[in-house]
Amino acid sequence: MNTFKKYLGIVWIILAMAISYYFIGIFGSKLTSGKQDDLVFGIIIFFILLPLIVTGLAIFGWYALTDEYED
Amino acid sequence: MNSKSTKGIWKVITASSLGTMIEWYDFYIFGSLAVVLSTKFFPTDNPTAAFLSTLATFAAGFVVRPFGALFFGRLGDLIGRKYTFMVTLLIMGGATFLIGCIPSYQTIGYLAPLLVLILRLLQGLALGGEYGGAATYVAEHAPNNQKGYWTSWIQITATAGLFLSLLVILLTKGILSKEAFEEWGWRAPFWVSIFLVIISYIIRKNMDESPVFAKAKLEGKTSLNPLKESFNNRFNLKFILLALFGATMGQGVVWYTGQFYAMSFMKTVQNIDSSQVDTLLVFALLMGTPFFVLFGWLSDKIGRKSIMMTGLFLAIFLYRPIYREMYKLTDTKAMKGSGNNLVMESCKVTETPVASILTEPDKADPTLKNSRVFIVTKTDSLFSSGAVFHYTKTDTLFLAQPLAFDAKKNALNEVWLNYDTNNSSGAIVHHSVKLKNSIQQGGTPARLDTIQTGLLKQFPDAMTIHKSHEHGISAKGNISVSKNITSTVKFYLIFLVFIQVLFATMVYGPIAAFLVEMFPVKIRYTSMSLPYHVGNGIFGGLLPAISTYFVITAKNIGNPEFYLEGLWYPIGIAAVCFVIGMIYIDRKINTLHDK
């Protein structure tokens, strides 16, 4: 189980990067569309959720990879 | 536990829970009144944008909660739990009362939403400090093997606060006329807060400090720098991240889907009458609330992890079927083909249509003028089951020429407008409307004297629009619907919302004890507050705004299952949380700091 937890850390780091790529690629245009509802949504995604998920998940993955969550 | 100590802890629970419930009440009254607030504090020319702005302001309060957790958590670990959460109580009460005093957008313009935002941020900061303090305070009074049970009473407060907010709104609506509520009555629930806060402050003032914290302080074992010890310590930080990604993140989205998104969905996607939604939500919450205590108690027996993960698992797999079922209950299109009883019997215009005219300089060329005519038609559709759907349809006609009544040129002082629209099935409907200036020369509004349209067999779903006419007219339809549902539908909806509340009780009931046990006394307030408020406040609190946006976007591009699109956000977050929680949360974690 410890080995599984450790190597799953790579998945979390990749997931963080994938989310980052997806958010920027798919939702990037929302900030510049000129519509108020798009702007509100874009701000929520880019300035709140994206940094939180990407940074947090990457650190979590790194900790898993370095055996911090070993039993 | 003897009867004396049981009595003591009930006193602690009462004082803590009452204050926390009032803070949740203050916090949620804003969300419960989101629809009416959007018309008071934001420009009303784009109702969708106004509603999303209101949800965003509502969400801003959630976003600052982690900062409140850090600021007040630090204070709580330095000077004590009791004094800190008394300060948060006063800040929350003051901010809520003042929101009820802000003049509307019509009176002070953009200062109104700005002031609302500032006070909303204060509310968020206060709540960020409150919850961790109350949960820690209760947990530190409770025996080690009963922390789940006793802290579950604190967990009830969030739902109880929402319940109280709905109840106060319903009472206010019941006492006042609809017009009075729209005019000023919506402010009353905000004003009520100040009385509740004063009562709670007096009760809390007489409480003692947490015995565990008092002992640590006496022995000089409190932290000198809780923030540094919490976040600069790798051992502690890994638990903060695990608490967030393996528990609170999923808990946040499940809690907010089951209560707030369900409410928002019924009001804005299903278009059910607002008071009916509030009423059925009150019943669902009332039925679900005891389960917080049940699952808190059960978590002392079988462990926190298994209960929380079961709640997440059920939510992930059952949200879509539940919301599909909810939507079908009020979807006339789906119902017609399935031979059930939601079949329209009649459809009629209930009030004489009213028109108002707005003439202003052209945006592209200010030297020219053009007019917009707003025609409001109210219609009722009656169904064989007894359900009544009220439609308010606002047709906006864009005129290339300024529309003016000129008594000299037109003896009847009237104008005929002719235009065509095509409805969602593609059929072209010809409209012939006579506007008569019966009020004042050259002024507005005009009385809509005659309206002739195609035969009204059923209410058009949407005027997808519009065909330019020979008079330079184009048209845009905007329909608002309010559905009065039958008792059968209401009971079924109560059941479907109750199921969602049940998921929320599974993930939320044990979580205070789970978090408290994860961190040591000296940095507990700070460390447990942060993952809770990031998970619950940010991931959960942003849910209504994000999910509503997904629904609206999917609807605009014609996705037939647009109403389910908002669920991808909670399902995705809960799924990641479930996997992390199942793999990384170890039962042993919760015995690390159980003193």
Supply the DSSP string of B513-537, one letter for each residue: HHHHTTS-GGGHHHHHHHHHIIIII
Buried b vs exposed e over B302-338: b needs ≥16 C-beta within 10 Å? ebbbebbbebbbbbbeebeebbeebbbbbebeebeee
Please check whether residue B128 is in contact with residue B20, taking contact to mean a CB–CB distance below 8 angstroms: no
Structure tokens at B80: 């004590």
The nearest CA of chain B is from the CA of A52 a distance in Å of 9
Counting one residue from chain A and one from chain B, the pairs whose CB atoms sit within 8 A come to 61
pLDDT for position B406? 56
Question: Quick check: B464 pLDDT over 60?
Answer: no
pLDDT for position B589? 54
Position A70 in a domain: no
C-alpha distances (whole Å) from B108 to each of B1, B4, B104, B191 are: 58, 56, 6, 20
Q: Report, as an integer, the average pLDDT of B480-491.
A: 80
C-alpha distances (whole Å) from B258 to each of A29, B165, B270, B495, B501 are: 31, 16, 16, 12, 5
Long-range contacts of B352-356 (CB under 8 A, 24+ apart): B352/B448, B353/B377, B353/B378, B353/B448, B353/B451, B354/B445, B354/B447, B354/B448, B355/B433, B355/B435, B355/B445, B355/B446, B355/B447, B355/B448, B356/B444, B356/B445, B356/B446
Buried b vs exposed e over B109-121: b needs ≥16 C-beta within 10 Å? eeebbebbbebbb
Q: Report, as an integer, the average pLDDT of A45-63.
A: 91
- Answer yes or no: do B542 and A4 touch at CB < 8 A: no
Of A43, A48, A56, the CB nearest to B245: A56
pLDDT for position B376? 76
CA A56 to chain centroid, in Å, comes to 7
Residue of A14, A41, A45, A54 to mutate when probing chain B, most B C-beta within 10 A? A41
Q: Is the dihedral of CA B280, B335, B561, B55 positive or negative?
A: negative
Q: Report, as an integer, the average pLDDT of B562-573.
A: 93
The nearest CA of chain B is from the CA of A32 a distance in Å of 16
Structure tokens at B58: 């509502």
Beta bridge partners of B216: none
Cα dihedral B267, B498, B245, B309, rounded to 10, equals -160
Beta bridge partners of B389: B381, B483
pLDDT for position B462? 36
C-alpha distances (whole Å) from B376 to each of B350, B368, B392, B416, B479 are: 11, 27, 7, 17, 9
pLDDT for position B428? 65
C-alpha distances (whole Å) from B324 to each of B368, B557, B560 are: 50, 19, 12
B384 three-class SS: coil
Alpha helix positions (H), B210-355? 211-218, 226-231, 234-243, 249-256, 262-264, 274-288, 290-302, 304-328, 332-337
Cα radius of gyration (chain B)? 27
Q: Are strands B344-349 and B354-361 parallel, antiparallel or unpaired?
A: unpaired
Please give the single-letter amino acid code of residue B457.
K
Question: Quick check: B592 pLDDT over 70?
Answer: no
The segment(s) of chain B belonging to CATH 1.20.1250.20 are 3-330+485-591
Q: Report, as an integer, the average pLDDT of B538-567.
A: 87
Cα dihedral B324, B328, B329, B333, rounded to 10, equals 160
Over residues B159-171, the pLDDT tens digits come to 888 888 888 988 9
Q: Minimal CA–CA distance to B497: which of B304, B302, B305, B329? A: B329
Question: Quick check: B569 pLDDT over 90?
Answer: yes
Over residues A18-46, the pLDDT tens digits come to 999 988 888 878 778 777 778 778 888 88
| Contacting residues of B for A36, CB less than 8 Å apart | 46, 49, 52-53
Of A37, A48, A68, the CB nearest to B52: A37
Q: For residue B445, say if its preceding peptide bond is cis, omega within 30 degrees of 0.
A: yes
Over residues B177-195, the pLDDT tens digits come to 888 888 899 999 999 888 8
Q: Report, as an integer, the average pLDDT of B58-84.
A: 83
pLDDT for position B242? 94
Position A50 in a domain: yes
Position A71 in a domain: no
Of A4, A36, A71, the CB nearest to B53: A36
Q: Minimal CA–CA distance to B310: which of B574, B79, B38? A: B574
Question: Quick check: B6 pLDDT over 80?
Answer: no
Q: Minimal CA–CA distance to B509: which of B253, B314, B251? A: B251
Please check whether residue A12 is in contact with residue A61, taking contact to mean a CB–CB distance below 8 angstroms: yes
Please check whether residue B128 is in contact with residue B64, taking contact to mean a CB–CB distance below 8 angstroms: yes
Residue B286 is classified by DSSP as: H
Residue of B38, B48, B52 to mutate when probing chain A, most A C-beta within 10 A? B52
Q: Minimal CA–CA distance to B280: which of B480, B481, B488? A: B488
Of A4, A44, A64, the CB nearest to B546: A44
- Answer yes or no: do B542 and A63 touch at CB < 8 A: no
pLDDT for position B434? 67
Q: Residue B506's pLDDT band (boundaries 50, 70, 90)?
A: very high
Over residues B382-432, the pLDDT tens digits come to 776 677 777 777 777 777 766 665 555 544 556 666 666 666 566 666 666
Please check whether residue B369 is in contact with residue B362, taking contact to mean a CB–CB distance below 8 angstroms: yes
Residue with tokens 């050259």: B442
Question: B519 or B382, which is more confident?
Answer: B519
Beta bridge partners of B435: B415, B448
Distance CA B320, CA B19 (A): 36
Count the Cβ atoms, other than its own, within 10 Å of residue A40.
Answer: 21
Of A44, A48, A56, the CB nearest to B244: A56
Q: Are strands B414-422 and B369-383 parallel, antiparallel or unpaired?
A: unpaired
pLDDT for position B541? 85
Residue B509 is classified by DSSP as: T
Average pLDDT of every residue of chain B: 79
User: Closest chain A residue to B246 measured between Cα atoms?
Assistant: A60
Q: Minimal CA–CA distance to B533: which of B139, B70, B90? A: B70
**Total domain count, chain A:** 1
**Which range, of A47-51, B208-212, B447-451, averages the lowest pLDDT?**
B447-451
Please give the single-letter amino acid code of residue B128.
G
Q: Report, as an integer, the average pLDDT of B240-251.
A: 94
Please check whether residue B335 is in contact with residue B329, taking contact to mean a CB–CB distance below 8 angstroms: no
Q: Report, as an integer, the average pLDDT of B351-368.
A: 73
CA geometry: angle B319, B493, B21, nearest 5 deg:
80
Over residues B253-280, the pLDDT tens digits come to 999 999 889 988 998 888 888 888 988 9
Supply the DSSP string of B52-69, one letter for each residue: HHHHHHHHHHHHTHHHHH
Find the chain B residues whose C-beta atoms sit closer than 8 A to any C-beta of A: 46, 48-49, 52-53, 55-56, 59, 63, 234, 237-238, 241-242, 244-245, 534, 538-539, 542, 545-546, 549, 552, 576, 580, 583-584, 586, 588
Q: Report, as an integer, the average pLDDT of B273-301.
A: 91
Half-sphere exposure of B94 (CA within 13 A, CB side): 12
Question: Quick check: B440 pLDDT over 60?
Answer: no
Question: B489 or B442, which is more confident?
Answer: B489
- Answer yes or no: do A68 and B234 touch at CB < 8 A: yes
* Full residue range of the structural domain in which residue A23 is found: 2-65
Question: Quick check: B498 pLDDT over 70?
Answer: yes
**Which range, of B81-85, B342-346, B563-567, averages the lowest pLDDT?**
B342-346
User: Closest chain A residue to B552 measured between Cα atoms?
Assistant: A37
Q: Identify the CATH assignment for B3-330+485-591 out of 1.10.357.10, 1.20.1250.20, 1.10.760.10, 3.90.330.10.
A: 1.20.1250.20
Q: Residue B443's pLDDT band (boundaries 50, 70, 90)?
A: very low
Find the chain A residues whose C-beta atoms sit closer than 8 A to any C-beta of B: 4-5, 8, 12, 15, 35-37, 40-41, 43-44, 48-49, 52, 56-57, 59-60, 63-64, 68-69, 71
Count the Cβ atoms, other than its own, within 10 Å of residue A33.
Answer: 12
Structure tokens at B533: 């408020």
Distance CA B98, CA B437 (A): 43
Residue of B518, B583, B587, B591 to mutate when probing chain A, most A C-beta within 10 A? B583
- Answer yes or no: do B549 and A8 touch at CB < 8 A: no
| Contacting residues of B for A14, CB less than 8 Å apart | none
| Contacting residues of B for A8, CB less than 8 Å apart | 583
Please check whether residue A64 is in contact with residue A6, taking contact to mean a CB–CB distance below 8 angstroms: yes
Residue B467 is classified by DSSP as: B
